[in-house]
Amino acid sequence: MSNLTANDTRLGWHAWLTAESPSSPLQARLGGTWRVIAALLRNPLACTGLIVVVLLILMALFAPLIAWGISPIKQDLAGRLAPPGAAHWFGTDELGRDIFARTVYGARVTLTIVALVAVIVVPLGLLVGTVSGFLGGITDIVLMRITDIFLAFPSLVLALAFAAALGPGIVNAVIAISLTAWPPYARLARAETASIARSDFIAAIKLQGGSTARILLRHVVPLCLSSVIVRLTLDMAGIIIIAAGLGFLGLGAQPPIAEWGAMVASGRSLVLDQWWVATIPGLAIFVVSLGFNLLGDGLRDVFDPRSGG
């Protein structure tokens, strides 16, 4: 009897979430979220990417527990360049620091950079793109020409230039990456806004006296947000690689902070004899980048099925 009741309850919730005619805004929002999750779960590659991203977040949050309390900066010159084994799962580096602990703590730096860049580029790209697409005219021309100037340079080269000018450090690396990453989001938001601005419901809102700011914030930005999030997820791999590149060149996180790009740089001269020093953080960069790419592909298929296959 209890199993029947549980099944009935589960079926009731499923029917409520998948109703074609929601009776409230809450039901509509929850139903939309459920459809996105269900579509992702039906995509094995997207699930794999989601698992990798979730593991990255958990690794960053619980780094002290996962690293078994081992310090990522504690040196042990007597045990330097020890191969992977029971004492050190991933071996040690040239200063005797545990590579497993440094790889785990490096997830914090990577996630911090990714999160800060996302917080900066999404609002900036949406602001420039929606204002440009909605107002048009001279505003559109000026904003898009500024965007074109940033797009004219390769992202990595421009990020290196900004990072070199600002100086080394995580904050400056985030600023440098953000300054090079926002133009594609502005272009995407501008294209969608230009289409939305010609819609009948926007004309109706204008007739009701809706201000430009209200129309943009309440109606245009929410409609552009899903495409921007998909683009952001797909760009995460590039952001991680650029951040690792800055760390590799000494323009990102500074010693003794554990950062994957800097770890690869410290082991590049040892790659033939002590391969684990550079290979382990390199594999971490590869796996996380692949995870974001797979998740981004899955989200793109969900929000725009025409783009898949």
Q: Stretch 49-70: mean pLDDT, rounded? A: 93
Q: Stretch 231-253: mean pLDDT, rounded? A: 92
Among the four given CATH numbers 3.40.50.1950, 3.30.70.1290, 3.30.1130.10, 1.10.3720.10, the one describing domain 36-307: 1.10.3720.10
Specify the pLDDT at position 127.
Answer: 94
Rounded-to-integer distance, Cα 130 and Cα 219, Å: 11
Specify the pLDDT at position 208.
Answer: 85
Torsion angle of alpha carbons 224, 154, 242, 82, nearest 10°? 150
- The answer to whether the beta carbons of residues 154 and 180 sit under 8 Å apart is no
Q: Which of 33-47, 178-192, 252-266 has the lowest mean pLDDT?
A: 33-47
The DSSP annotation for 194-236 comes to HHHTTSHHHHHHHHTT--HHHHIIIIIHHHHHHHHHHHHHHHH
Q: 186-227: per-residue pLDDT in tens? A: 999 999 998 888 888 888 888 888 888 888 888 899 889 888
The secondary structure element, H or E, covering residue 34 is helix 25-41
Q: Which of 33-47, 107-121, 231-245 has the lowest mean pLDDT?
A: 33-47
pLDDT at residue 279 above 90? yes
Higher pLDDT, 142 or 28: 142
The DSSP annotation for 141-193 comes to HHHHHHHHHHHTS-HHHHHHHHHHHH-SSHHHHHHHHHHHHSHHHHHHHHHHH
Banded model confidence at residue 8, pLDDT cuts 50, 70, 90: very low
Residue 92, classed as helix, strand or coil, is strand
Specify the pLDDT at position 5.
Answer: 53
What's the distance, CA 229 to chain centroid?
9
pLDDT at residue 2 above 60? no
Q: 40-55: per-residue pLDDT in tens? A: 788 888 899 999 999 9
Q: Stretch 58-84: mean pLDDT, rounded? A: 92
